[in-house]
Amino acid sequence: MSRAEGQRERTESLAHRVPDLAALELLLAVARLGSLGAAAREVGITQPAASSRLRSMERQLGVALVDRSPRGSRLTDAGALVTDWARRVVEAAAAFDAGARALRDRRDSRLRVAASMTIAEYLLPGWLLALHAERPDTAVSLLAGNSAKVAELLLAGEADLGFVEGLNVPTGLDSTVIAHDRLIVVTAPGHPWARRRRPLTAAELASTPLILRERGSGTRQVLDAALGGLARPLIELSSTTAVKASAVSGAGPSVLSELAVGEELSLRRLVSIPVEGVPLRRALRAVWPTGHRPTGPARELLSLTRA
């Protein structure tokens, strides 16, 4: 079986085992309201349809989720646990939707945001979701690229607010630090580094071909500065997701934001390799053209990033 066929089979199997979002939202409503009838009304379906959807989910998972009685509906112990997991899935789906909406090229957009890839993939959807809650009528468009591209868009007047990850503020832009991030060295579990007892040195890291982001990205800028420009690319890729997938496949070690690899580390699809003597911490910055402090929705989004 090819790798693509194996992935497709796993995806199809997962789709059969994991309830859809509508079912999860119903379960969350039951947990919050304590009544199947009230939950049905909230999600806009009849009570018989809600009962059927809940029974189908229980059959799918193989556990009872809700105890029903004349006094209402109460979660079982298993139902309480599944509800906690469901809440994370629904919140992640809402953040995904906020990010996807912003990617669409909308002519009526009133806030144009440009963000470097790691921020666009792992932080911005949550910020946009919070902005939508505060300003539901504000249309947002998102342009994603490396830090150099973000600067180019801002200076050309094609974006109102930007987010970058590099060490320096591009010329012509003002900035504020909104968070800090750390790059980490990762490999697939089968790589020899995964069995090391001592940290990597700067010389070892510099002498090893790595799967890297392209030049112009904030991630690459930080690594090049830490190694004195001596980083050796095995492969250069233009997105964090592509770099991560190559590392997971065992193609070689990589250096990525810790924001990007939390799930892979927890599932042991990647292993973090300790390094000594290599400064890999960086600031995440909001940026805008010099002398043009963000106003309106851009200012509100900026304040949400700090919250």
User: 227-258 pLDDT, tens per residue?
Assistant: 988 888 999 988 888 899 999 999 999 999 99
CA distance 114 to 135: 19
**Would you state the pLDDT for residue 108?**
45
Write out the two tokens for 28.
């969350």
Last residue of a domain, one of 92, 117, 135: 92
Crossing angle between the packed helical segments 77-103 and 124-134, to the nearest 10 degrees: 90
Residues 222 and 191 in one domain: yes
**Would you state the pLDDT for residue 36?**
87
CATH number at 307 reads 3.40.190.290
Tell me if residue 274 falls in helix, strand or coil.
coil
The residues of the chain scoring below 70 in pLDDT are 1-15, 104-109, 307
Q: For residue 219, give its domain range.
A: 108-307
Tell me if residue 114 falls in helix, strand or coil.
strand
**161-164/271-273 β-pairing:** unpaired
Q: How many domains does the chain have?
A: 2
CA distance 178 to 113: 15
**Would you state the pLDDT for residue 100?**
79
Is residue 210 a contact partner of residue 255, using CB atoms and an 8 Å limit? yes
Asked if residue 102 is part of any domain, the answer here is no
**Would you state the pLDDT for residue 186?**
96
**Would you state the pLDDT for residue 107?**
46
